[in-house]
Structure 1
Amino acid sequence: MANKIVRIILIIVLFVVFFELGLFSSYTIVTAEAPNPQALIDMQISKVTEFFSPENVNEALIKDPTPVNITNKKDVGLKMEELSKVDGVNVDSMNITTYDDTDNKNLTVNIEALGYASPNSTSGQIVISQTPSYKVIATGQAEYKENGLRVDENTITITSILQLY
């Protein structure tokens, strides 16, 4: 029994030694400099402790997003339309959520809205469809102002455009 425990410990030690040797050699190859063992070990320890810190454990737990209301839906819709190059964005279908604490002054918000394609021209006649063609998903920074939560249009970035069938 003691012999098995010693073997397991020896395998773990050998694994760690080979891992460290690989880290040092790859560091030398990538940077073309001699590695600083103390700095590399400190970096590994800080990354491992950061990974298991209580803040990161809480972030890793799946939370439901909190819906929020913004005061500048039309401006956000126009900016999303411009950035995503769709023909129009339905502000009535706009869904704004956040994973941040809503008590904070600044929030990162996720914005989802339905987008419309350009009108199709077939046989000389224009066909305008009332059904949305796209789902546009964006992120942006919002801040509480005197009249409510307002998204800064300059911080809006489109994360994906999904075509609906």
Structure 2
Amino acid sequence: MAMVGLFWITEGSVYIGAEPVGTAAGVRLSKDGVEALGIEHGRSWSWDEVQRIEVADVPVRSASRRRFSQAFDAVVVALTGGGDLPPAFTVRIGAAEETVEVSVLTPIAGGIYGPVEYELSRTLLNRLVDGRTALDDLLLWRRDLVGDANPGREEREALMLKWVDDPS
């Protein structure tokens, strides 16, 4: 798996937020559609049924504020001897007559996004929903990736720019 923006990409699926483990909540995108995962959700929609997917409460900070927040968190963990789960954000899946909210964990190290990566993620999500970007583009990139190392910020932003600028 690899993280790019708000997305956790495996060889067969793309998750908004971190891939859920066990009965944890999550949102999975596949060729067949969108699935809200977890004990309280268990719903799925075909791509034709999905009208919008929105994200809210995503922790976004400028580079300097992000570094400060991460340093502060590291000090807190060192002093308290424990760490918390990464921050959560909300994914809203809008279909014909319903909107489902799912709380997912951020996949990014430190849990905080930069403004550019966040905006590119939102644009890519909109393009996936309206069909202007194929989910296969993300899955093919993951299949070609050697190992499980996450790309750096600049590479992630370049990937998303490529995926949102592709006129396909």
Which TM class, normalised by the smaller chain length? under 0.3
TM-score, normalised with respect to structure 1:
0.28
Greater strand percent: which structure?
Answer: 1
Could you say which structure has the larger radius of gyration?
1
TM-score, normalised with respect to structure 2:
0.27
Higher RCO, 1 vs 2 (CA within 8 Å, ≥6 residues apart): 2
Greater helix percent: which structure?
Answer: 1
